[in-house]
Amino acid sequence: MTRSIPNLTLVKTIGKATDILVLGLTEAGGSPALVGASPELDRGRRDAASGVLATALGMGATSELECVVVLPAADLRVVVVGLGDADVTPERVRRAVGAALRKVSALPNVSGLTVGVSMELADPELVRAAGEGALLGCYVPQKHSRTTAEPTVAAIEVVGGGRADLKSALEAARAVGEAVCLARDWVNLPGNLLQPPVFAEQARTAVRSERITVEVLDEKALEKGGYGGILAVGGGSDAPPRLVRLEYAPRGASTHLALVGKGITFDTGGLDIKPAGQMAGMKYDMSGAAAVISAVRAIAQLGLKVRVTAYAAMAENMPSGSAYRSGDVLTMFDGQTVENYNTDAEGRLVMADAIARAGQDKPALIVDVATLTGACMVALGMRTGGLMASDDATADQVLDAAESAGEAFWQLPVTEDIRQQLKSDIADMRSGGKNRYGGALAAAAFLQRFVPDGVAWAHLDIAGPANNEDQAYGYTPKGGTGVAVRTLVELARQLSV
């Protein structure tokens, strides 16, 4: 499961072992100019009598962000990528480097390459972004086959001198890049290869070498603990549900952050079964769980001084003779009762139990992450996640972290009229609203009922951005994106200082 990612190092200049050199292209000064090219570059090149810049321009290179041109093979092959003409920001660097490495990773008949990235980066945030973009751009989904392909890129060298702050920036990039790739790998696994018991064991393995304690509640422990939501949803599958709890508690931690992730390993809709077209992508329904597990691993690797507890609520939503029904009344972990409105609204039930359990640890802040509603995709499209929170200060805190990390979230309200719709005649509440309007808000309003008083809470609905059904772009591949990992790690970093 855990596969290796390219080695990432900071170098003063590229050496003899470098096979490919990635340079930037900008027109910020009025005319096209290479960023990161050294004067020696044009000397001794068989292919580029006219020089690298002229060759690149002749091949259609522009400064447009993510425009990638691969120059003809030479002793040192050059790749030129547009950096845009506005100010370079970390996210622009991440995207440009990601696009370049994605192109390099797709080159045929080569493997084990050492790729240099030279863009005159001297700021730790930009160096870190270059490292992240490179690792994320190299990601190629695992192919399930008898033969295993050698990775195209074995090592990445970022040119930036030997400064200690730049070195630790690249170490952060490695931890975060590796975590995002781990999340992507999990998300991309098909439903038959990642049922809850397997996912839980893989989570255990993934954090084994870190200072993280692991607790896995199996179906017996869930029964004993009264996790009525997780058990109801998991009851229709032959593969039993799991609740995984990870705890990272470093000495000197300043605060306590709780993370909760939706881990529906496949969502058929249950008895309220989905039509085939809508069921197709539902192996992605565990993206929230993948994100929180991967994020804790990176947070521990970085040694951030913040206590983090993470809960991954894992179940498979299947129709069967033992499946739960619409209209069922469930008693949840915290004792509240729920009239189930639709068996396809399963995510909020497993999340409610996990949020209530997370609340028992008395964290300062709970952040939950879930591919929760199609309605959120209708509202915000495929590339922006929804954010709902207990209060605006908490929302801003998470939005700030997301912006620093280069992930797109947009705040939605949890309105009083939507809360009113959760009233039930036969239980403490219903699990959904009256109709499909404001579906993302209704789901959030429901989740909030399980957050203990006095605990700040933010909810990330990643139904859109968790899975890229389009072509790859920037550092984002087709399929699982690993969204939210970077925001969660950045939030932990901001809380730790």
Beta carbon nearer to ligand BES, 132 or 272: 272
Q: Which of 285, 316, 353, 368 binds ligand BES (CB under 6 A)?
A: 285
Min dist. Cβ of residue 374 to Mn ion (A): 9
353 is a contact residue toward Zn ion (CB under 5 A):
no
Q: Judged by CB under 6 A, which stretch of 33-41, 108-116, 369-377, 398-406 contacts ligand BES? A: 369-377
Contact 369, 292 (CB under 8 A): yes
464 is a contact residue toward Zn ion (CB under 5 A):
no
19 is a contact residue toward Zn ion (CB under 5 A):
no
Q: Which of 141, 226, 374, 452 binds ligand BES (CB under 6 A)?
A: 374
Tokens of 439: 């579906």
Contact 257, 371 (CB under 8 A): no
Residue type, 158: V
Residue in this structure with the two tokens 């992450």, named with its chain if needed: 369
Q: Is 281 exposed, middle or buried (0-12, 13-18, 19+ CB in 10 A)?
A: middle
The single-letter DSSP state of residue 31 is S
**Termini Cα distance of the chain:** 33
Min dist. Cβ of residue 227 to Mn ion (A): 18
Task: Count each helix (H run) and each strand (E run) in the chain, helices first.
Answer: 15, 20
Min dist. Cβ of residue 345 to Zn ion (A): 8
For Zn ion, the binding residues in 28-47 under the rule CB under 5 A are: none
Alpha helices by DSSP H, listed for 161-275, are 164-188, 196-206, 219-225, 228-234
267 is a contact residue toward Mn ion (CB under 5 A):
yes
Q: Judged by CB under 5 A, which stretch of 48-56, 264-272, 422-430, 475-483 contacts Zn ion? A: 264-272
Min dist. Cβ of residue 325 to ligand BES (A): 14
Contact partner, 159, from Mn ion, Zn ion, ligand BES, none, Cβ < 5-8 Å per class: none
Edge-to-edge strands, sheet with 329-331: 329-331, 337-339, 429-430
Q: Which of 124, 228, 235, 439 binds ligand BES (CB under 6 A)?
A: 439
Contact partner, 373, from Zn ion, ligand BES, Mn ion, none, Cβ < 5-8 Å per class: ligand BES
How many chain residues touch ligand BES (CB under 6 A)? 16
92 is catalytic: no
Distance (Å, rounded) from C-alpha 80 to C-alpha 78? 7
234 is a contact residue toward Zn ion (CB under 5 A):
no
Q: Which of 185, 219, 267, 316 binds Zn ion (CB under 5 A)?
A: 267
What residue is closest to Mn ion based on CB?
344
Residue in this structure with the two tokens 């129709």, named with its chain if needed: 319
383 is catalytic: no
Q: Which of 285, 334, 339, 407 binds Zn ion (CB under 5 A)?
A: 285
Q: Which of 19, 272, 344, 368 binds Mn ion (CB under 5 A)?
A: 344
What residue is closest to Zn ion based on CB?
267
Distance (Å, rounded) from C-alpha 78 to C-alpha 58? 14
For ligand BES, the binding residues in 249-268 under the rule CB under 6 A are: 267
Contact partner, 374, from Mn ion, ligand BES, Zn ion, none, Cβ < 5-8 Å per class: ligand BES
The single-letter DSSP state of residue 476 is B
CA geometry: angle at 376 spanning 372 and 377, to 5°?
A: 105
Closest Cα partner for 90 from 137, 42, 128? 128
Contact 148, 107 (CB under 8 A): no
19 is a contact residue toward Mn ion (CB under 5 A):
no
| Rg for the chain, CA atoms, rounded | 24
Distance (Å, rounded) from C-alpha 294 to C-alpha 177? 10
Q: Which spans of this chain sit near Mn ion (rule: CB under 5 A)?
A: 267, 344, 346
Q: Which residues are known to be catalytic?
A: 274, 348
